[in-house]
Amino acid sequence: MMNYRKDHPKESKQFIDRLEIYKKTVLPRIKAQTKQNFDIAVLCDRKNAQIFKDMGIIPFHTKDGYAGHYTDMWHFRTPWENIEGLKKYDIQTVVHSDDLISEKYIEKIEEVIEQNKEGDKSIHIQFQPRLYNLETGQEKAMSLRYTNGFSSPMHSIYQPGKKYYFIHHNSHVVMPKYFDKSFLIGEGYCWLTAHSGSLSITMST
């Protein structure tokens, strides 16, 4: 997600900073995947859409302009019916604008789906991330361990049936409840990053 409002001075600055992280560290890892059969799409402010089009990325938006909200951390939840500019994909995968993934991230998702798909049953796949400090290069295990009762923000969903959810339909912590099966993949495939612009991730998370 990069849905910072362009006409809001503070968010406009945040967008510039986050876009730099995305272009320098996140996008190269997405493009380096061993499996390349996917599209890259970014949820953004309509006024920033051309920036992503010029990068070969699909920009999409919320119909009502919802951009998320902050309480103790940043939250974004919206149904599929509020999304425009994005077609329905059997597989949706979240990679936040400062998340890092290994080159086999998509390959692992497809492997889990192929091994466990059954008719029109849906699948939720979550990953246990590690932590990475973008400014120092420090890398370590998270103290927070994810479960099906408190699910990871690094997740993917497979929906071959008629019922269809946007991957940010609800908080990531409760997303497994919407799917027929859920699988937790161990460390080594992704990292949550700590940096000066992060709202909720620190190296003590």
- pLDDT, position 203: 64
* 195 close to 137: Cβ distance less than 8 angstroms: no
Rg (CA), the chain: 16
CA atoms within 13 A on the CB side of 111: 8
In this prediction, what percent of the chain has a pLDDT beyond 90? 75
pLDDT band at 138 (very low <50, low <70, confident <90, very high): very high
Mean pLDDT for the stretch of residues 117-137: 95
What kind and span of H or E run contains 190? Answer: strand 190-194
pLDDT band at 201 (very low <50, low <70, confident <90, very high): low
- pLDDT, position 195: 78
Question: Which of 33, 157, 193, 158 has the alpha carbon at shortest distance from 105?
Answer: 33
pLDDT digits (tens, 9 = 90+) for 51-83: 999 999 999 999 998 776 555 556 789 999 999
pTM of the entire structure?
Answer: 0.91
- pLDDT, position 143: 93
* 178 close to 124: Cβ distance less than 8 angstroms: yes
pLDDT band at 11 (very low <50, low <70, confident <90, very high): low
In this prediction, what percent of the chain has a pLDDT beyond 70? 88
pLDDT digits (tens, 9 = 90+) for 102-115: 999 999 999 999 99
pLDDT band at 135 (very low <50, low <70, confident <90, very high): confident
Q: Tell me the domain boundaries of the chain.
A: 9-194
Mean pLDDT of the chain: 90
Please say if the pLDDT value at position 169 is more than 60: yes
Residue length of the chain? 205
Mean pLDDT for the stretch of residues 144-169: 95
- pLDDT, position 13: 79
- pLDDT, position 18: 87
